[in-house]
Amino acid sequence: MDQIIVTGNGPLSGQIPIAGAKNACLTLMPATLLSEEPLTLTNAPRLSDIRTMTTLLQSLGAEVQALQDGQVLAMSSHDLTSTRADYDIVRKMRASILVLGPLLARFGHAEVSLPGGCAIGARPVDLHLKAFEAMGAELDLRDGYVHAKAPAGGLRGGIVDFPFASVGATENALMAATLAKGTTVVKNAAREPEIVDLAECLRKMGAQIDGEGTSEITIQGVDRLGGATHRVVTDRIELGTYMLAPAICGGEVECLGGKIDLLAAFCETLDAAGISVEETPNGLKVARKNGRVSAVNVTTEPFPGFPTDLQAQMMALLCTAEGTSVLEERIFENRFMHAPELIRMGASIDVHGGTATVRGVEHLKGAPVMATDLRASVSLILAGLAAEGDTIVSRVYHLDRGYEHVVRKLESVGARIERVKEQ
Ligand code: EPZ
């Protein structure tokens, strides 16, 4: 397995291009299953999760061609051969559950393996299933699979009322409702930009959708969907991650393609911590306003609140802030696994349940650390940028799931970072 070695070496300077959003692409790709016509995605990120979704769609008989070095995904589901998503693929990536809604809507039946949990939590899919039941589907959970069956005439429009705003369940409900007979209303829908991106793509395919980006989405079912070409929205989590690089070790970096409206709550938190964010014609320019970063409190919430996917990275920044910060993780039950690794680097962090208290220290010290999940892995790299000496991050395969060319991007703004084979 590879390792990444980061050596703290002072301020950064330059530009980092931000790729298309992993979490938008992972819901846009299954949308191809809704139509016989071709769906082409541009600005697609080159990530292992995208390759996993490609394998899953191909296992169903879809055609997926990665063109232009993987930045264009040309897909067609004209001749599907299966509506069964096998465990051996689904277990690698939870987002695989997003093929269930489209398959059920277009073919009236589907068998999809339950995804199982992951490092950050149990990750149930009960809300996805509740949405399909509201559209008349019968769901039978057995032998580790969801066996789903639509009514004889196909899914029917219904009222889907989520107890809280689940991103994936909203995406699955939205896709299924596009072909249901009648009107579906999704209440307490998630409002993430990736859902707005999905709705815009589905509308290009002929879907009738109103309200995306608000907590109530109304979908008028249609008989069939056509093809489309759609550009994947900028990845706000990659954006926020790289904005923290100059925040953590000084200097000034422009994140190309960044927009404040993708990360308003995060930018407000950065401002309170003493980090300046300036909109430029090409993106967002980020720098520390003065000396040391100030402690701030963070609570993760569904969009438009502070994103849970930036909590680990923010903790890395706050480890060297002046003062004490309290981070509350309200979305996932086990998302502080980066804390023990940061403590190995000299951070002072107390974790109790969903709350982490971080007492800022002057300097972190490089150390061998281990990545435990996607966002934890990149928080360790960020911490290494500001630490004295070398930080050696192991199990970087986690990183490859969500960050393309992280070494190249950070090297380009002056970081001392390299990827090596495990020593
Ligand atoms: C999406 O996961 C993202 N993944 C996650 O990003 C992100 O952290 C999360 O949304 C929250 O923003 C993709 O888009 C592929 P949820 P998802 O349904 O859809 C519970 C990353 O690092 N829940 O909003 O799984 C669940 O256990 C990943 O890129 C149920 O209880 O998130 C969690 O505690 C990590 N029942 C909470 O809701 C359900 O049926 C939020 O989950 C579904 C979810």
Task: From residue 143, give the alpha-carbon distance in Å to each of 86, 112, 147, 150.
Answer: 12, 11, 10, 20
Residue to mutate, 166, 309, 314, 332, ligand 1, most ligand atoms under 8 Å from C-beta: 166
Using CA atoms, how far residue 103 sits from 180, 305, 322, in Å, is 12, 32, 52
Q: Whose CA is nearest to atom 9 of ligand 1?
A: 167
Is 118 noted as a catalytic residue in this protein? yes
d(CA 367, CA 282): 36
Residue whose CA is at the smallest distance from ligand 1 atom 38: 166
**Residues 282-292, mean pLDDT to the nearest whole number:** 93
Could you please state the CATH topology (level 3) that the domain comprising 2-19+235-421 is classified under.
UDP-n-acetylglucosamine1-carboxyvinyl-transferase; Chain (3.65.10)
The pLDDT of residue 290 is 82
The residue nearest atom 32 of ligand 1, judged by CA position, is: 167
Q: Is 23 in the pocket of ligand 1 (CB under 6 A)?
A: yes
* pLDDT given at position 115: 83
| Catalytic member of 118, 249, 267, 319 | 118
132 contacts 101 by C-beta, under 8 angstroms: yes
Helix (H) or strand (E) holding 131: helix 126-134
Nearest CA, atom 25, ligand 1: 168
Cα 307 to ligand 1 centroid, rounded to whole Å? 11
User: Is the CB of 125 inside a 6 Å radius of any atom of ligand 1?
Assistant: yes
Is pLDDT of 149 > 80? yes
Question: pTM for the full model?
Answer: 0.97
The residues spanned by each domain of the chain are: 2-19+235-421, 22-231
* 423: confidence class by pLDDT, cuts 50, 70, 90: low
What is the per-residue DSSP string for 371-383? Answer: --SHHHHHHHHHH
Ligand 1 contact via 197 beta carbon (within 6 Å): no
- The answer to whether 2-19+235-421 and 22-231 have equal CATH topology is yes
The closest residue, in CA terms, to atom 37 on ligand 1 is 331
- Measured from the CB, is residue 124 less than 6 Å from ligand 1? yes
Q: Which CATH architecture has domain 22-231?
A: Alpha-beta prism (3.65)
For the CA of 128, the nearest atom of ligand 1: 40
Which of helix, strand or coil describes residue 127?
Answer: helix
Verify whether ligand 1 is closer than 6 Å to residue 167 (CB atom): yes
Residue range 179-208: average pLDDT?
A: 98
- CB 398, CB 372: distance < 8 Å: yes
Confidence of residue 289 (pLDDT cuts 50, 70, 90): confident
Q: What is the pLDDT of residue 291?
A: 82
pLDDT band at 117 (very low <50, low <70, confident <90, very high): low
**How far is CA 157 from each of CA 43, 126, 221, 363, rounded to the nearest angstrom?**
33, 19, 7, 57
